[in-house]
Structure 1
Amino acid sequence: MISIRILAAVAAACGICATATAQSNDTAFPEANAPSSPAGAAPPKFEFARIRSRIAIGEKFGWVETGMFCTGRTDLRANAKIEDIANNEANAAFKAAIRELGLRSAAPEISSFDTAPAKSDPDYRIGGVLETMSLQECHTSTERKGDFAITVKWEVFSPRLQKVVYSQVTSGSAHIDSFEAVTGGEFEARAYLKALREMMKDPGFVALKAADGPAVATVGATVAAPALAPLHLKSAAAMAGGTQANAPALRNAVATVLRDNVSGSAFYVADGYLLTNHHVVGNAHYVKVKLSGGRIIVGEVVRDDARRDVALIKTEPAGVPVLHVSMGDPAVGSDVFAIGSPLGQELAGTFTRGVLSGNREVNGLEYLQSDVAINPGNSGGPLLDGTSTVVGMAVLKITQASGLSFFIPMRDVANTLQLIFD
């Protein structure tokens, strides 16, 4: 059996680079332009996202002593695990705060039956930046006492609007006067709980409504998805002059999809409609779409299929060229061209050339094979023939060898998503 790997695989697996591009700023979430949102009366659902730290690696934030007599004081300095530890403690505090304040969580309900739980997309994701931290602690093997204090810049992100809609800085502290049988994580989570309580009781947070986020349910695996109704899209004519002559315009029809720390490619097949891979959008209902000119708009995932690894994204009219698509396959040996964002958005619009090597079937699914160069980040990008026509979508690559790339035929993309190009 041919060994294939999704282009969004992590660097260790693909041996080159992950599709994911790490965020390096100090905000918990990036921001983008926001569309209008529909009204809704249901209470919003919240999901914990992550904590980032502004505390520098090596910076002293406290001390620790050990034993019943609290001796051997040692300075505490931040290391590479500071965000992992903060995430665990803040997530535990978030769950406690949600229960305590009677808010709705987007986390799936746990069932005693062997069925996949249904999970609702969150209306909001809560994250934060750890601004300051102070710990003075004495512990034995089973008990501890001391003081722990934090300051966090909380941010509330709306997946629907693809931007931060609320921000607040709060502080929290925990104090144990006499030895108590509690773990370090439990002790420090108390401070995060206090900081979250203060934020969640703020009028600005209380005023958040579900209208600012999606209320779309992700159906469990045991529930059959409804059959898709055919969707008619206005097709574009093929650009006269061929693919190479139209390279600048064709590149403008290809965008970069941004989701958390993952990026991939997508291409416009009708005004306001892009195609990409399911593994590029994941379970997100909304993603950012970065156009070739640098403008970022919000995209809504309106159709997708995990097995065939395809997805349809709807955006506002983007004012970019639309690609012509074909339900046929190019001849083996003919020239083909790939466009995408290999290794991330910095290389968006990369244009490569190869030949169609063959038609393959892997695990019951059809693929076009080519030696055209693609890399992580090309996922979801178009494969064109010499007439400026899209014939496939980038999806797979053999990592153990060069020149073995695979594409989903456009007829499969259209049939799976029930798209009709008029």
Structure 2
Amino acid sequence: MLLRPGGCSSGPCRPVTAIVLLAVALLAVSGCRGISVPPVPVLQSAAGANDRLAPIQIDRIVFNLTRGQQVGSYRGGHVYTGCGATLSPEPIYWKAGRVSADDAETQDVLGDALRGAGYNVVGPSEDLFVDTGSQAEFLVGGRVDRMLMDVCDEVSMMNARWLGTQSGEISVDVTWQVYSLLDRRVVLETRSQGFAAMQDGMPDGEVELILRGLAAAARNLAADRQLHALLRQDRQQLAAAAAPTSADPRTQPAVVLRPVALPEGALSERMRRVQASVVTIRSSRGQGSGFFVAPDLVLTNAHVVGGAERVRVVLLDGRAIDARVLRRAPNRDVALVQIIQGSHAPLSLRLEPPDLAEEVYAVGSPLDESLAGTITRGIVSRYQRDAEGFELIQADATIQQGSSGGPLLDAAGRVVGLSQSVLAGEDELSLGINFFIPIADALLHLNVRIDGS
């Protein structure tokens, strides 16, 4: 909120005006000391018209200003004779300390500025039931370290009454951080400045000035070569995708898998080999599991990858590999992910459904990446259908959040299904009622077949 308390040294004080930021930023006036606003050059965006850049989402702006710090000055004046022509300046002090703004208006203003500069900005959709922000690979946030405002508080030339409109100038210094949702860390910190001038006054003009100053800083951020290089990483390889992942897999050419021989040796030896072929999947939605069905293909749930184009596949030894989502069938909650480099041992698949009371094993990364390769044992409890009419395997092999997309195996080490969901009690602990997608149905909905089948 922008606030003018009583005790103004010149001219009548006027009511409080609201600033649409999810923080209470208070500005006060007293005394008689002005402030000058230095202009900032406008930089050219580093993004080209044909660049393929990773999707980013605006997260928040933090005002890192000290309580009591002067951030500008008000000058009263007639609209036609110019600001400062009749009244002396009144300094503006920041009264809120460190506050954060993560409201929709701020995100929209900054997002529009970067989008207009050629960057791939995603965020909440205008469709109330679709969140395109789940496609983001990076979050962008800013910290305002300095803000200077020269605000003209406009007065009527006819009767010297305050009009309730403001114009003026602003400059801001912003430190930006870019957070990778796939690496789960800040991968870039950089700075930019912004300058904005508003010639025509408007109600709550100070608010508009702040938003325009932040937008100008965001446009100058677009010129940062480090940011541009970061968002172009592996874009050329991803551009080689044969078909858009939004396409129905049934309209795409079939993916043909080579048969994989049954694992040999004792159960413990077979399961150790299985563990090496089960992966953790990092996406903008969080963490899930998956497993290799071909040397470069990983099967998982559609809800694990969400709407992302790219994910990170983490091997049992902790190595992280870039991967793209090759195809997905959200209605059956299955997706196929292709790693960009490397070759890995796929698991053997069994298309025939397991029998009731047959022993099965679930493998995945429940709750946390550090638990990757966790194996649980149970039996097939029953078969049933979900709300969409799709068949599910119910088993008491324990799975938790993060297990989604991991394999369900028979005692021979062959995949018979993949983990999908769990029925939990009020304490969110598993009740031993867990659901798995039959592997044959998963492959069918992705238009994947085994050579010779």
**1:394 aligned partner, one-letter code:** S
Residues 260-299 of structure 1: pairs in structure 2 closer than 5 A: 260-299=284-323
Question: Larger relative CO (CA 8 A, sep 6+): 1 or 2?
Answer: 1
Which structure 1 residue ranges, 5 or more long, are not aligned?
1-39
1:153 aligns with 2:176: yes
* Larger CA Rg, structure 1 vs 2: 2
Name the SS of the counterpart of 2:102 in structure 1.
Answer: helix
- Distance of aligned partners of 1:273 and 1:72 in 2 relative to their CA distance in 1, 3 Å threshold: closer
Distance apart, 1:212 and its partner CA: 7.2
**1:248 aligned partner, one-letter code:** R
- Partners of 2:101 and 2:370 lie apart in 1 by 26
* TM-score in terms of structure 1 length: 0.70
Which range is displaced more, 254-263 or 197-206?
Answer: 197-206
**Could you give the per-residue CA deviations for residues 138-175 of structure 1, whole angstroms, max 9, x where no partner exists?**
9999656785633133659899x999998742122557
**Could you give the per-residue CA deviations for residues 288-319 of structure 1, whole angstroms, max 9, x where no partner exists?**
01111000001111121010111111114645
Pick the aligned partner of 2:110 from 93, 96, 117. 93
- Partners of 1:98 and 1:245 lie apart in 2 by 52
Pick the aligned partner of 1:366 from 369, 372, 391. 391
- Structure 2 residue aligned with 1:386: 411
% identical equivalent positions: 25
- Partners of 2:213 and 2:320 lie apart in 1 by 37
Which structure 2 residue ranges, 5 or more long, are not aligned?
1-47, 77-88, 154-161
- Distance of aligned partners of 1:206 and 1:78 in 2 relative to their CA distance in 1, 3 Å threshold: closer
- Distance of aligned partners of 1:164 and 1:72 in 2 relative to their CA distance in 1, 3 Å threshold: closer
**2:175 aligned partner, one-letter code:** V
- Structure 2 residue aligned with 1:32: none
1:234 aligns with 2:258: yes
**Could you give the per-residue CA deviations for residues 22-81 of structure 1, whole angstroms, max 9, x where no partner exists?**
xxxxxxxxxxxxxxxxxx99354675412456878x97595799x9998996721335xx
**Do 1:61 and 1:134's aligned partners in 2 also have CA atoms closer than 8 Å?**
no
Which range is displaced more, 340-349 or 295-304?
Answer: 340-349
- Structure 2 residue aligned with 1:310: 334
**1:414 aligned partner, one-letter code:** L
Distance apart, 1:286 and its partner CA: 1.3
Name the SS of the counterpart of 2:96 in structure 1.
Answer: strand
Pick the aligned partner of 1:250 from 254, 274, 278. 274
- Partners of 1:163 and 1:73 lie apart in 2 by 35
- Distance of aligned partners of 1:291 and 1:250 in 2 relative to their CA distance in 1, 3 Å threshold: same
Distance apart, 1:238 and its partner CA: 2.1
Aligned residues: 367
- Partners of 1:162 and 1:213 lie apart in 2 by 21
**Do 1:149 and 1:174's aligned partners in 2 also have CA atoms closer than 8 Å?**
no
Distance apart, 1:276 and its partner CA: 0.1
Pick the aligned partner of 2:192 from 170, 177, 182. 170
**Do 1:133 and 1:148's aligned partners in 2 also have CA atoms closer than 8 Å?**
no
Distance apart, 1:358 and its partner CA: 0.8
**Do 2:392 and 2:436's aligned partners in 1 also have CA atoms closer than 8 Å?**
yes
- Distance of aligned partners of 1:274 and 1:196 in 2 relative to their CA distance in 1, 3 Å threshold: same
Residues 61-210 of structure 1: pairs in structure 2 closer than 5 A: 75-79=95-99, 82=100, 84-85=102-103, 88-96=105-113, 98-99=115-116, 101=117, 103=118, 127-134=139-146, 149-153=172-176, 155=178, 168-173=190-195, 180-182=202-204, 186-201=208-223
**1:356 aligned partner, one-letter code:** V
- Partners of 2:413 and 2:208 lie apart in 1 by 60
1:395 aligns with 2:420: yes
**Do 1:51 and 1:83's aligned partners in 2 also have CA atoms closer than 8 Å?**
no
Residues 8-23 of structure 1: pairs in structure 2 closer than 5 A: none
Name the SS of the counterpart of 2:288 in structure 1.
Answer: strand
**Do 1:257 and 1:288's aligned partners in 2 also have CA atoms closer than 8 Å?**
yes
- Partners of 2:176 and 2:122 lie apart in 1 by 23
**2:98 aligned partner, one-letter code:** A
Pick the aligned partner of 1:49 from 49, 57, 62. 57
- Distance of aligned partners of 1:132 and 1:295 in 2 relative to their CA distance in 1, 3 Å threshold: same
- Partners of 2:200 and 2:49 lie apart in 1 by 48
Name the SS of the counterpart of 2:111 in structure 1.
Answer: helix
Distance apart, 1:192 and its partner CA: 2.0
**1:284 aligned partner, one-letter code:** A
**Do 2:398 and 2:432's aligned partners in 1 also have CA atoms closer than 8 Å?**
yes
**Do 1:63 and 1:135's aligned partners in 2 also have CA atoms closer than 8 Å?**
no
* TM-score in terms of structure 2 length: 0.66
**Could you give the per-residue CA deviations for residues 85-112 of structure 1, whole angstroms, max 9, x where no partner exists?**
4x7425313314544x5x375669x99x
Question: What's the C-alpha RMSD, in Å, of the aligned pairs?
Answer: 4.7
**1:153 aligned partner, one-letter code:** W
- Partners of 1:310 and 1:409 lie apart in 2 by 11
Residues 21-60 of structure 1: pairs in structure 2 closer than 5 A: 42-44=50-52, 47-51=55-59, 60=67
- Partners of 2:335 and 2:296 lie apart in 1 by 14
**Do 2:56 and 2:138's aligned partners in 1 also have CA atoms closer than 8 Å?**
yes
**Do 1:246 and 1:388's aligned partners in 2 also have CA atoms closer than 8 Å?**
yes
